[in-house]
Structures are given as structure tokens and as C-alpha cells.
A and B are shown apart, each in its own frame.
Chain A
Amino acid sequence: MERQPIVSLKEVTKRFDDVVAVDSLSLDIYQGEFLTLLGPSGCGKTTVLRLIAGFETLTSGEIYMNGARLNGTPPNKRNVNTVFQSYALFPHMNVFDNIAFGLRMKKCEEGLVRRQVGEALEIVKMSGLENRMPHQLSGGQQQRVAMARAIVNKPQVLLLDEPLSALDYRLRQEMEIELKRIHRQLGITFVFVTHDQEEAISMSDRIAVMNRGAIEQVGTPIEIYEEPENMFVARFVGEINVFDGVVREVNNGGATVEIQGRLFPVQNRKNLGPGRAVKVLLRPEDIQVAIEGEWTEGEPYLAGSVEEVIYKGKTVDLVVRLDNKESINVTQFFNEDQENVIYREGQRVHVNWLYGWEVVLPS
């Protein structure tokens, strides 16, 4: 099945006076996917949503929906609905009337309204609360009503602006699962905004990492996490260790990089030539540690001493101070056949990693 983009942003720019909120951004959003816009505060995520919904006018560029140009179409004429961060339920209407609002604006016949509101309430598991006023609902319930109010209109695309950020941790996890279920159940496109990388990774089909109004990388959560294309993405999505190095030798598909005076074999996906200064990136869980003297083979390693040991049940996190004074974070998983790994502070250790687990970026 060939997937068509349902929404296409082409070189979209939005300027507020002297602030460039969105800077020549292009992005294709596909039918049925769960796409997350991830980025730090102020990077333009909300503005992108507001441009798609039609609340802001483009400074330049184009937005297409189902192949038709959308520039200038007002929000009430777009087949898109938004769930706002503040929920923004109508305070003078009960739950039923809130959800029925969109259908009534379209002059739907009242019997149909009742049926569809009932269905929407069922999807968000709020049946029976039709007559409550918004101020009689908990935060999580308000969130569900806001969802129901949007999905009852059967939009092709649902835009969600940090819908979970006002909820406490437990409720947020519960709602993450609910959101995924609703997404599967409805089969419509979700464009979700968050600045929480864990939320993005656990929920999305694809993630677009944004920075300063532009997209740094688009990809599946695994691609974003395992193969960040630049330092911004690498640093923003999870913890990472960075080693400075220089390419010494290139062979087919691989290279040898000198780090702190030692030579490490690495993959060379970006075809960097000899002499090139590079950064070698490693997630804490991709680094191997051994107590000094345990490694017998002549593998390259960096030496250091354990500075901090934090047991976390399933894992142990170490802070290792390398001999060149840089410190790195290492996460070790416990497994059955290796249960007596006990690290002490001050212990001398060697660290390295398996060939191919590193990411090499030009400096």
C-alpha cells in the first residue's frame, strides 16, 4: 500500500514581528500515523500546530491537505481538530453539550448528535458523566472530555498540543496508553506535541525533532535514539557520552578513530576521510565496563576509576572518571550469569564498546 501524505508542509515560515517561530520547515505527515513534534520550549511546536489548524497565517510557504492548498482557509473550514493544552472546555456547558458543540455547529440532526456523543464518550470511557459541568471533573476527566469533543467530529487529523503535561506522573502514564488505544481504534492521523523525549519515544510511529523553528531529524523512535544525525538530536533525546576523536585510517565501511591516544575501530556511515575531527557518541547502556585486569585480549579501551555507583534495581548506573579527567555515564544491566558484579567507588576500570554500537559525527 502506497502511503500518501495527508498533510504536507512546504518551506513553511512564520514570523512574529522580529521572532522567527518557524523557519522554512518542510514535513510530510502520513495517513494514520502517530507523529510527534519533539523539541525544547520555544522551538515552535505550538506554532506549527496552529498553522496546520489555521489559527495563524503563514509568513511564507505552503500547507497542503489531501493535495489541496490550505493557505487562508479558516480553522472552521478545515477537517482538523485540536486538543489544547489547557483543555479549554466551555465552562457554561455540561459534558454532553461540550462534546456535541462541533456537531451542532454543523447542524447535525439531534438524534445523530446523541448517538455520536454517546460513542465518543464510550471511546474515552466517560459514559455516564454527560451531565457533569467541567468544574466538577478531575484533570484527567477534563482531558478525556477535550479528546471526545475533538474526535466526535471525525477529523482526518487530530492535533494534540502537550495534552498530558498538566497531569501528574501516574495519570500521564495511564493516559499515554489510552491515547495509543484511541489512536489505534480510530485509525486517524495524530500529530502530537511534547517536549518530553520519553513520552515521544514510547508513543510515536515517527518523531520530528525540532530546534529553533526547524526540523533537525525525522524518523522512527529507534532511528532517532540509535542513529541521531547531529549533536542536537543526540543530546536532546536521552543521555549520551561524547568522545572527541580524529579519523586515522579508512577501510571499506569502517574507520579507525583515535580517542585519547588509543585507536578504536568504528563504522563509517558518513564516509569521513582521514584527518577529520569527529565526535564518537555512545549511550550509557552501550558502554561495557570491566574491572582492571579482567580483559585479556588486546582490545582497545579507556581507563578510569569509578566515581559514583547508583543501584537502580534492574540496572546499576556508574559515573566513571576517565584518566583524562572527563567523566562518562555507564548503565550496566544485571543478568543471571553475571550476578556478582559489584563496583566500589574508587575502583579502577576499563571501558569500551562493541564495534558498530557507536555513532560517529563530524565535529
Chain B
Amino acid sequence: MSRVFRWVYLGLIYAFLYVPIAVLVVYSFNSSKYSTNWQGFTLKWYGQLVSDSPLREAFVNSLVIAFASSVCATILGTLAAFAFYRYRFVGRKVLYTFIYIVMMSPDIVMGISLLMFFVTLGLATGALTLLIAHITFCLPFVVVTVYSRISGLDRSIIDVAKDLGANEMQVFRHVVMPLLMPAIIAGWLLSFTLSLDDVVVSFFTTGPSFDILPLRIYSMVRLGIKPEINALSTVMFALSLVTVTVAHLVTKEKT
């Protein structure tokens, strides 16, 4: 009896989580222009996506920004995590707490403060400011992901490597890096998805010259939900599904 109840309960939770997405995916293949009734299978909305050139451009821009910002955030974040681990300096704890503060602070606050920062510097908003903004909000996630793994490392492993003749650089390359790889990849994928679907911070920090996908969708939706949007959302959902799966596999492997 209680087992049946458990399955029903679990089923309800997953239904709550995934039914909306399933509906969206199903309607993206619906040939009716109005999303309320099913009129047969079609791929034409996907076709329209491909031929919509401003949308395509925004999509490419998004990928470029997501890739560049996640790579930068990963490199900077990994080095920062290593520094937090390797060196004892005054204010280490306080600094680490600040990392969490950035992570927790509302997007809207980040967006506005970054905008003010760029205005103060006299930077015109566009691709560069957007990139900087994305690096900023991705960085803490990388630091936290990598640090949580690095702090579980046996410190004497680093001592052993030095004892066996490795210099600081070799220790990092041959010992620390390989052991951190799963966390680094996870941090990178996390940054990539965060960057790809950010709306709020991007809204404040990019200019009219540089459109990205989430903002483009946002403006399209204001005129009513069109079936192309369903198709586009399905593509994006598939993309994040892949990244999450890869992240999961990579972090699960060799721990």
C-alpha cells in the first residue's frame, strides 16, 4: 500500500515538473497556428526558425557569448579556487564569503549595478559589456564547484609531488588539474547554460546592436506566443538536457 503511494507521490512531483515542458515540446510539432488544438504533425516551425535570420543571428550571438564567458569564467574561477586552497592569506574566509554573496545576489541588482559601472567607465553597452557581465555572474559558480572538490584533496599529495621533483607548475599540471577536471568541466557547463539563458542581467548590459536569443524571445513573446517560440524553446531545452547529462556523467566518473 505504502509502496503504491510512494510511486503515485513521485509520479505527481515529476508530472508537476515535466508536464509543461512536454506540452511545449508536443505543440512545437503541431501544425495548427493556435496552440490550443492538435491538427497533425509538422516540422515547419523548425523550418521557419532556420529561415528567420535575425533570430539565427541572435542564436549565434548567444552561443558565442556563452562559450566565451564560460571559458573565461572557468579559467579565472579555477585559478581562484586553487589560490583559496593553496595559500593561507589574511581575509581568505571573508573573500570566499563575498563569492557567495555575488552568487546569491538578485539578478536585477547585478544587472543594474553592472550597467552603472559601465556607464561610469564610459563604456557603450554591447558585446563587450555583455561578455564582462556574463563572466561576472558565472565566476562564483565555477569557484564554488571547483573549490568544493579541491578542498577534498589530500594535501600530502601535493607535498609528495614536490618531493618527487615537481615544480609548482608541474604540480598543477600533472596532479591538481587532472584531479579537478570533472569539477572544472562541470563548472564550465554550468556557466555555459547560465549564460545561455540569462535574461535579466543581459537586458541591462547589452545594447541594441547586439541581440541575444533570450532577449529576442522575450520581445517576440510580447506579441503573443507563436509556434516558432515553442520550437525554439524545444531546441534550447534539448541543448540544456545534453549539457546537464554530460556534466552529470563527467562528475560521476572517477571520483
Contacts and interface: CB of A to CB of B under 8 A. Distances in A.
Given A92-B178, A92-B179, A92-B254, A75 B154 contact: no
B154 to A, nearest CB: 6
Contact of B159 (A88, A91, A102, A149): A88
A53 B166 contact: no
B150 to A, nearest CB: 13
Contact of A153 (B156, B161, B164, B167): B164
B166 A86 contact: no
B235 interface: no
Contact of A86 (B154, B161, B162): B154
Contacts of A84: 156, 159-160
A92 B179 CA distance: 7
Given A88-B154, A88-B156, A105-B170, A82 B175 contact: no
B168 to A, nearest CB: 9
A74 interface: yes
A81 interface: yes
A295 interface: no
A53 B157 contact: no
B163 A75 contact: yes
Contacts of A74: 162
B122 interface: no
A76 B159 contact: no
A224 B141 CA distance: 58
B159 A106 contact: no
B165 interface: yes
A55 B254 CA distance: 30
A311 interface: no
Contacts of B159: 55, 75, 82, 84, 88
A86 B254 contact: no
A101 interface: yes
A90 interface: yes
B178 A102 contact: no
B184 to A, nearest CB: 13
Nearest to A88: B156
Nearest to B159: A55
A76 B163 contact: yes
A76 B179 contact: no
Nearest to B171: A76
Contacts of B175: 90
B223 to A, nearest CB: 53
Contacts of B165: 76, 102, 105-106, 153
A95 to B, nearest CB: 15
A53 B154 CA distance: 18
Nearest to A77: B165
Most buried by A among B164, B167, B174, B254: B164
B255 to A, nearest CB: 9
A56 to B, nearest CB: 11
A82 B166 contact: no
Contacts of B161: 90, 101
B179 A82 contact: no
Contacts of A106: 165
Most buried by A among B159, B160, B161, B167: B160
B121 to A, nearest CB: 42
B162 A75 contact: yes
A149 B157 CA distance: 13
Contacts of B179: 91-92
B156 A102 contact: no
Interface in B32-64: none
A76 B154 contact: no
Contact of A102 (B157, B164, B167): B164
B162 A76 contact: yes
Nearest to A159: B163
Contacts of A75: 159, 162-163
Contacts of A81: 163-164
A84 to B, nearest CB: 5
Contacts of B174: 101, 105
Contacts of B170: 105
Interface of B: 154, 156-157, 159-167, 170, 174-175, 178-179, 254
Closest 6 CB pairs of A and B: A102-B164, A105-B165, A88-B156, A75-B162, A88-B160, A76-B165
Interface of A: 53, 55, 74-76, 80-82, 84, 86, 88, 90-92, 101-102, 105-106, 149-150, 153
24 contacts: A55-B162, A74-B162, A75-B159, A75-B163, A76-B166, A81-B164, A82-B160, A82-B163, A84-B156, A86-B154, A86-B156, A88-B154, A88-B156, A88-B157, A91-B157, A91-B179, A101-B161, A101-B166, A105-B165, A105-B166, A106-B165, A149-B160, A153-B164, A153-B165
Given A82-B159, A82-B163, A102-B164, 20 more contacts: A53-B163, A55-B159, A76-B163, A76-B166, A81-B163, A81-B164, A82-B160, A86-B156, A91-B157, A91-B179, A92-B179, A101-B161, A101-B164, A105-B164, A105-B166, A105-B174, A149-B160, A149-B164, A150-B163, A150-B164
